[in-house]
């Protein structure tokens, strides 16, 4: 099957999923609610809860998957994820700190936890950037080490705060770091995340040829005419801000960012000019499916979507390690 066809099918899949998902859930909402608002409660569920949430799943899935793809290419490492550089740990630390302090406020339509989480992500990004850039270069090996170190450092601070908090707050923290979309009510969050994901995706889309060359080695890429330093810088900030924006609202939803690029590479090959749009479509659609499952499989209880993605992602990850290693 040609790559254009595969991309077309993925687009159809994503559109179908996007169109169908709002009508699944605990409360049955008929399609006619879209144009006939005789039942105000159902109209509210559809317009204020389901549709924003599905759109957020689309953005979060697309953003995490794309940043995962970019990091995998940049580090030439199939195991890289959007969270490898500790940005999600920074966001989690921010959120956990806010919960620990018990601060409830709303800033520009965003919850205090989201604001803190985004600030945490920002600190992590600047820290990794600063540590990597300190030696007048921007080496990916240093970046990877700096990211992993920052990640561990923040993780232990998270554990410390959890240890120091009372039971209710600890539970709240634990629940937040599982990731989920149940905080999305109305379009504020969606509109908040949109510029990060759209902007990040555009940058990555613009750099698809450079990504291809960087996977063959930075020296070779430079010799082929790639401005390696600038490219890496642009990719780092684009991908990191995407992760920061998404995680601030949805928490660290795992495995989409690792898995979606790999599935898409199997479907469409390693050429980023095709892989990038495929990853956006698949990542978005995949998270919508997972979130719909999270809302319905144990209804009326909602599962955190991070559990579903990880349940699907764990076995896939092992399979990947065993089967595809030789080719990656």
Partner 1 sequence: MSPHAAHVIELRNFSFRIGRKEILRDVSFGVRRGEYLTIVGPNGAGKTTLLKCIDRILPGGSGSIDVCGRPLASYRQKELARRISYVPQADGRTFPFTVEQFVLMGRYPYLNPFSSIGREDRQAVRDAMEMTGTAAFADRLLGTLSGGERQQVYIAAALAQGAEVLLLDEPTTFLDYRHQSEVRGLLARANRDSGVTIVAVTHDVNQAALESDRIVALREGSVVFSGPPAEIMKPDVLGRIYGTSFLLIDHPSAGLPVIVPQVPTRSGS
**Should residue 66 be labelled a site residue for partner 1 when binding is judged by CB under 8 A?**
no
Q: Is 92 helix (H, G, I), strand (E, B) or coil?
A: helix
End-to-end CA distance of the chain: 21
**Site for partner 1 (CB under 8 A): which residue of 64, 93, 128, 213?**
213
**Site for partner 1 (CB under 8 A): which residue of 45, 73, 99, 256?**
73
**Site for partner 1 (CB under 8 A): which residue of 195, 269, 314, 315?**
269
Which one of the spans 57-65, 156-164, 184-192, 221-229 is the region binding partner 1 (CB under 8 A)?
221-229
Please calculate the CA angle 61-66-71 and round it to the nearest 5 degrees: 130
Please calculate the CA angle 85-88-90 and round it to the nearest 5 degrees: 90
Q: Would you say the C-alpha torsion 17, 21, 22, 23 has a positive or negative sign? A: positive
Which one of the spans 142-150, 169-177, 240-248, 320-328 is the region binding partner 1 (CB under 8 A)?
320-328
Q: Choose between 48 and 324: whose C-beta lies nearer to partner 1.
A: 324
**Should residue 271 be labelled a site residue for partner 1 when binding is judged by CB under 8 A?**
yes
**Should residue 222 be labelled a site residue for partner 1 when binding is judged by CB under 8 A?**
yes
- The CA dihedral of 76, 81, 82, 85, to the nearest 10 degrees, is -70
Least CB distance from residue 130 to partner 1, whole Å? 20
**Should residue 216 be labelled a site residue for partner 1 when binding is judged by CB under 8 A?**
yes
**Should residue 297 be labelled a site residue for partner 1 when binding is judged by CB under 8 A?**
no
Provide the angle, in degrees to the nearest 10, between the axes of the packed helices 51-74 and 188-206: 30
> DSSP class of residue 57?
H
Q: Choose between 107 and 220: whose C-beta lies nearer to partner 1.
A: 220
- Could you say which residues in the range 75-94 bind partner 1, by CB under 8 A? 76
Q: Say if CB 276 and CB 204 are below 8 A apart.
A: yes
Q: Say if CB 192 and CB 249 are below 8 A apart.
A: yes
Residue 231 structure tokens: 């490219």
**Should residue 314 be labelled a site residue for partner 1 when binding is judged by CB under 8 A?**
no
Q: How far is CA 169 from the centre of its chain?
A: 25
Which one of the spans 94-102, 140-148, 195-203, 213-221 is the region binding partner 1 (CB under 8 A)?
213-221
Site size toward partner 1 (CB under 8 A) is 26
Least CB distance from residue 224 to partner 1, whole Å? 5
Q: Is 84 helix (H, G, I), strand (E, B) or coil?
A: coil
Q: Choose between 214 and 250: whose C-beta lies nearer to partner 1.
A: 214
Q: How far is CA 95 from the centre of its chain?
A: 16
Which one of the spans 118-126, 149-157, 158-166, 218-226 is the region binding partner 1 (CB under 8 A)?
218-226
Q: Would you say the C-alpha torsion 306, 61, 87, 146 has a positive or negative sign? A: positive
Nearest in space to 30 (alpha carbons), one of 42, 18, 40: 42
**Site for partner 1 (CB under 8 A): which residue of 212, 279, 292, 309?**
212
What does the binding site for partner 1 look like in residue numbers (CB under 8 A)? 73, 76, 206-209, 212-213, 215-217, 219-220, 222-227, 265, 269-271, 326-328
């Amino acid at each position: 099957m040609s790559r254009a066809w595969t991309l077309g099918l993925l687009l159809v899949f994503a559109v179908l999923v996007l169109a169908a998902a709002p009508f699944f859930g605990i409360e049955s909402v008929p399609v006619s609610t879209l144009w006939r608002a005789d039942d105000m409660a159902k109209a509210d569920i559809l317009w204020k809860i389901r549709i924003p949430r599905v759109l957020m799943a689309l953005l979060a899935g697309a953003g995490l998957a794309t940043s995962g793809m970019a990091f995998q290419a940049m580090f030439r490492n199939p195991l890289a994820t959007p969270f490898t550089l500790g940005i999600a740990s920074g966001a989690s630390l921010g959120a956990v700190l806010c919960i620990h302090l018990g601060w409830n406020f709303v800033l520009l339509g965003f919850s205090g936890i989201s604001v803190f989480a985004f600030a945490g992500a920002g600190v992590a990004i600047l820290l990794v950037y600063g540590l990597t850039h300190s030696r007048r270069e921007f080496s990916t090996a240093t970046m990877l080490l700096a990211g992993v170190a920052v990640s561990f450092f923040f993780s232990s601070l998270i554990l410390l705060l959890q240890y120091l908090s009372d039971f209710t707050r600890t539970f709240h923290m634990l629940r937040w770091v599982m990731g989920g979309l149940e905080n999305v009510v109305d379009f504020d969050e969606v509109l908040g995340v949109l510029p990060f994901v759209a902007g990040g995706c555009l940058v990555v889309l613009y750099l698809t040829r450079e990504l291809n060359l960087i996977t063959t080695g930075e020296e070779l890429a430079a010799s082929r005419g790639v401005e390696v330093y600038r490219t890496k810088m642009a990719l780092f900030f684009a991908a990191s801000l995407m992760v920061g924006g998404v995680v601030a609202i949805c928490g660290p939803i795992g495995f989409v960012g690792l898995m979606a690029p790999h599935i898409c590479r199997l479907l469409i090959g390693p050429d980023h000019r095709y892989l990038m749009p495929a990853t956006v479509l698949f990542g978005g659609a995949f998270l919508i499916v997972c979130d719909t499952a999270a809302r319905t499989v144990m209804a009326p209880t909602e599962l955190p979507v991070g559990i579903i993605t990880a349940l699907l992602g764990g076995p896939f990850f092992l399979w990947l390690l065993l089967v595809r290693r030789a080719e990656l």
